[in-house]
């Protein structure tokens, strides 16, 4: 089990960033991977020109890579932003403008998971106002995802790196997931179980897996400390993936780690070549 019993994909927004966006799918394929995921690639706009969407679709197809996860518009990532959907005014409007654009692009490439980052707390705004807005926008996003046969992911981040982000525990994210599902009746909101963020929050990752694996729609990994590749920190990632498998999770595991001071293609030595392609 462990690393040989999972379906891995590469996050092209944190790995292969030494290359232009349209060259990253081919680079992932050259490293042996057939599946990739992305944060929203156009940080300045929720509604990029159709030609740019088409160019990304072409790059994915020519590389033979399947897009298995895509973020909705979330502002500047990496950077100070941690989402847009709960932020009143322009950012919330930009998120809404992005919903159908992202869902339709996902449908065009067969992507079945859309991730909606909750958004930072805003000084001077009542958190209850933000939470009400968040639920409204997550309901819209869940319905759009359902329209294209996808799930909606809700993600926990970590307080040390994202101190203004309110979902910094697994139970907090699960509460939002349950609220969205209750509001829509669709049941397609799921938990994005990010092992690195959970560990940075000091949570017992094994306990989170035992409690919530049945609500997980996607998993992401990086080692801790450092957010590097497996083996660069102290997390028992192989054991944790075994626990996920035993708990019934059979979905994708996204490699969302930093390559460090080496080319991204050199950061996969921990994973046997035969385990990289989707099976």
End-to-end CA, the chain: 14
Q: Which residue among the candidates 37, 91, 155, 203 is catalytic per the annotation?
A: 155
Range 200-224 average pLDDT: 98
Question: Whole-angstrom Cα distance, residue 152 to residue 141?
Answer: 7
Cβ-in-10-Å burial (0-12, 13-18, 19+) of 83 comes to buried
Range 210-220 average pLDDT: 98
**Tens-place pLDDT, residues 243-263:** 999 999 999 999 999 999 999
Three-state SS for the chain is: CHHHCCEEEEECCCCCCCCCHHHHHHHHHHCCCCEEEECCCCCCCCCCCHHHHHHHHHHHHHHCCEEEEEECCCCCCCCCCCECCCCCCHHHHHHHHHHHHHHHHHHHHCCCEEECCECCCCCCCCHHHHHHHHHHHHHHHHHHHHHCCCEEEEECCCCCCCCCCCCCCHHHHHHHHHHHHHHHCCCCEEEEEEHHHHHHCCCCHHHHHHHHHHHEEEEEECCCCCCCCCCCCCCCHHHHHHHHHHCCCCCEEEECCCCCCCCHHHCCCCCCHHHCCCC
**Tens-place pLDDT, residues 21-45:** 999 999 999 999 999 999 999 999 9
Q: Say how far residue 234 (Cα) sits from the centre of its chain.
A: 22
Cβ distance 165 to 116 under 8 Å? no
In the prediction, which pLDDT does 261 show? 94
In the prediction, which pLDDT does 51 show? 98
In the prediction, which pLDDT does 190 show? 98
Question: Whole-angstrom Cα distance, residue 10 to residue 36?
Answer: 5
Q: 200-207: which pairs have CB atoms within 8 A and are 24 or more residues apart? A: 200/158, 200/159, 200/160, 200/161, 200/224, 201/156, 201/158, 201/159, 201/168, 201/169, 203/169, 203/170, 205/235, 205/240, 206/240, 206/243
How many domains are there within the chain? 1
Could you give the percent of the chain with pLDDT greater than 90?
Answer: 94
Of 130, 129, 47, nearest in space to 82 by CA:
130
Of 274, 196, 228, 254, nearest in space to 36 by CA:
254
Q: Does 8 score more than 80 pLDDT?
A: yes
In the prediction, which pLDDT does 2 show? 57
**Facing residues of 154 across strands?**
191
Cβ-in-10-Å burial (0-12, 13-18, 19+) of 11 comes to buried
Q: Does 266 score more than 80 pLDDT?
A: yes
Active site residue 203: no
Range 62-74 average pLDDT: 98
Could you give the percent of the chain with pLDDT greater than 70?
Answer: 99
Task: Tell me the average pLDDT of the chain.
Answer: 96
- Domain containing 67 equals 2-275
CATH number, residue 19: 3.20.20.150
Q: Does 91 score more than 80 pLDDT?
A: yes
Q: Which residue among the candidates 37, 91, 203, 256 is catalytic per the annotation?
A: 256
Confidence of residue 1 (pLDDT cuts 50, 70, 90): very low
Active site residue 256: yes
In the prediction, which pLDDT does 43 show? 93
Range 132-144 average pLDDT: 98
What is the reported pTM? 0.97
Could you check whether the bond before residue 225 is cis, i.e. omega within 30 degrees of 0?
A: yes
**Tens-place pLDDT, residues 172-201:** 999 999 999 999 999 999 999 999 999 999
């Amino acid at each position: 089990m462990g690393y040989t019993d999972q379906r891995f994909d590469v996050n092209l927004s944190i790995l292969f960033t030494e290359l232009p966006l349209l060259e990253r799918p081919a680079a992932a394929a050259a490293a042996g991977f057939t599946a990739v995921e992305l944060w929203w690639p156009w940080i300045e706009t929720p509604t990029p020109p159709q030609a740019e969407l088409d160019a990304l679709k072409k790059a994915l197809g020519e590389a033979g890579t399947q897009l298995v996860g895509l973020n909705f518009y979330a502002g500047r990532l990496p950077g100070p932003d941690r989402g847009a959907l709960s932020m009143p005014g322009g950012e919330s409007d930009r998120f809404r403008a992005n919903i159908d654009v992202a869902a339709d692009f996902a449908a065009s490439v067969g992507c079945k998971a859309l991730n909606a980052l909750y958004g930072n707390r805003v000084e001077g705004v009542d958190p209850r106002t933000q939470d009400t807005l968040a639920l409204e926008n997550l309901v819209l996003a869940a319905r759009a995802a359902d329209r294209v046969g996808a799930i909606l992911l809700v993600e926990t981040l970590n307080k040390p790196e994202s101190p203004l982000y309110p979902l910094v525990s697994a139970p907090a994210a699960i509460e939002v997931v349950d609220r969205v599902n209750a509001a829509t009746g669709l049941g397609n909101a799921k938990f994005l179980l990010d092992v690195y963020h959970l560990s940075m929050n000091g949570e017992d990752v094994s306990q989170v897996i035992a409690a919530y694996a049945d609500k997980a729609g996607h998993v992401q990994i990086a080692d801790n400390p450092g957010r590097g590749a497996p083996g660069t920190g102290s997390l028992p990632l192989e054991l944790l993936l075994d626990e996920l498998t035993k708990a019934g999770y059979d979905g994708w595991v996204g490699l969302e780690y930093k390559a460090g001071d080496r080319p991204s293609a050199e950061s996969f030595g921990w994973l046997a070549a035969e385990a990289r392609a989707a099976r």
